[in-house]
A and B are shown apart, each in its own frame.
Chain A
Amino acid sequence: MATTTAALTISSSDLVGDALSLTTTNTLNKAGTTIGLDQTTGMTKAYLTSTDTIDLFPALVEGSIAFEGKSSWVYICNKSEDEGEYALVTIGGINIGRLYAGDFLWMPWDMIESANADNHHGDIEIAPSVATGMWFEWTCINEGTEWHAADLAIS
C-alpha cells in the first residue's frame, strides 16, 4: 500500500502580533478509509503559450464519471517568476482563484458533475494570463483517473 503525505507550513513573523507558525501533515487515503491512495497522473511540467482555458486532466464525461466522489488531490504551481503573470484556476467553469508567480494550490477534487454544467462538468482548468509562455507544474494523486477510449466524442 502506498503512503503519501502532504505537509503544509505557513509562517510569518509579523502578519499578526503573535508570530504565525502553522504546520499540518496528513496522509492521503481513499475516501472514508485508512487505505492509501495508489494512483497518480504523475507530475506534469508544461510551458503554456496561449491564454486559452485548458483541462489539466482528462475531461469528465457527463453521466458516467467513473471516480465521482472518490478521493482525488490536485497540486498546481505557477512557476513563472514575473509577478504580474497569473493563471485563473476554475472548476466546472467556476472561478476558484488566481495563482500568481510562485503560488501553488493543494485541493481535494470530487470529480463530480458540475451543478453549473454548461459542458464544463467538474473539470479542473487553468487559463494563463499571457500568451508569451508560462511554466506550470501539476499533478493529481487519487483513486483513479478515467482514461477515455480513443476517439471518444465528448459533448
Chain B
Amino acid sequence: MATTATITLSSDIVSDTLKFSTSATLTKAGLGTALTDAVGLSRKTVAGSHAQYTLFDGDAYGDGSHKVYLKNTSTDNAEYFTIEINSEQMGKLYAGDWAFFPWEANADTNDIKIDPSDNDMTLEYMLFYE
C-alpha cells in the first residue's frame, strides 16, 4: 500500500526559470510503512454566518505523521478561508488555492480550524493519518 504526493512548482519570477518537482511517499512516523487511514476526499460548505469551523479536532487523532490537504473551491478571487492551527493564524487560501502540510495532533488544542470570508463557501479537504 502506498500513497504518494507530488508538488510541481514552476515560475518565471526570477530570470532563470524556477521549476522543481518533489514527491513524497506518505509513511507512518519514523517508519517505512505506508499510512493506511484517510478521511475524505470531502467537501464542507460553511453556510450561514460564515463562522469559524473546526475541520479536524486534535483530540480525535493520536500522534503520528498525519498529512492535511485543503483547497478553496471558490472562483471568486476575493473569497478566502483563513486557516488556523491551535488558534495560531497560518494563512489564507484564496480562490483555487490549495495547501498540503503535516499535522501534529498530539494535543487536544491542536485543532485545525477554517474561517470563510463569506457565506456558503466550500472547502475541499482530505486527511491522511495513522
Answer yes or no: are A and B bound together in one complex: yes
Which B residues are within 8 Å of any A CB, using their own CB? Answer: 1-14, 18, 20, 22-25, 27, 29-32, 35-36, 38, 41, 65-67, 69, 71, 77-78, 80, 82-83, 85-94, 96-104, 106-107, 110, 126, 128
**B9 CB contact (under 8 Å) in A75, A91, A102:** A75
Q: Which residues of B contact A116 (CB under 8 A)?
A: 86-88
Q: Which residues of A contact B80 (CB under 8 A)?
A: 31-32
Supposing A10-B69, A31-B92, A71-B94 touch, asked if A95 and B86 sit within 8 A by C-beta, the answer is: yes
Q: Is B89's CB under 8 angstroms from A122's CB?
A: yes
Q: A14-B1, A22-B41, A94-B85 are in contact. Are A100 and B14 (CB under 8 A)?
A: no
- CB-CB under 8 A from B98, the residues of chain A are 6, 8, 24, 26, 106
Task: Verify if A40 is at the interface (C-beta below 8 Å from B).
Answer: yes
The interface residues of chain A lying within 8 Å CB-to-CB of B94 are 29, 31-32, 71
Beyond the given pairs A96-B85, A99-B102, 13 more chain A to chain B contacts, judged by CB atoms under 8 angstroms and listed by A's residue number, are: A5-B11, A10-B69, A28-B11, A40-B11, A84-B30, A94-B88, A95-B86, A96-B102, A97-B101, A100-B27, A104-B24, A107-B90, A108-B99
Cross-interface CB contact of A34 among B6, B8, B77, cutoff 8 Å:
B77
- Cβ-defined contact, A9 with B5, below 8 A: yes
**Chain B residue with Cβ nearest A2:** B13
* Binary contact readout A59-71 vs B (1 if CB under 8 angstroms, 0 otherwise): 0000000000101
Instruction: Please determine whether A122 and B88 come into contact, CB atoms closer than 8 angstroms.
Output: yes
Contacts of A5 in B (CB 8 A): 9-11
Chain A nearest CB from B37 CB (Å) reads 9
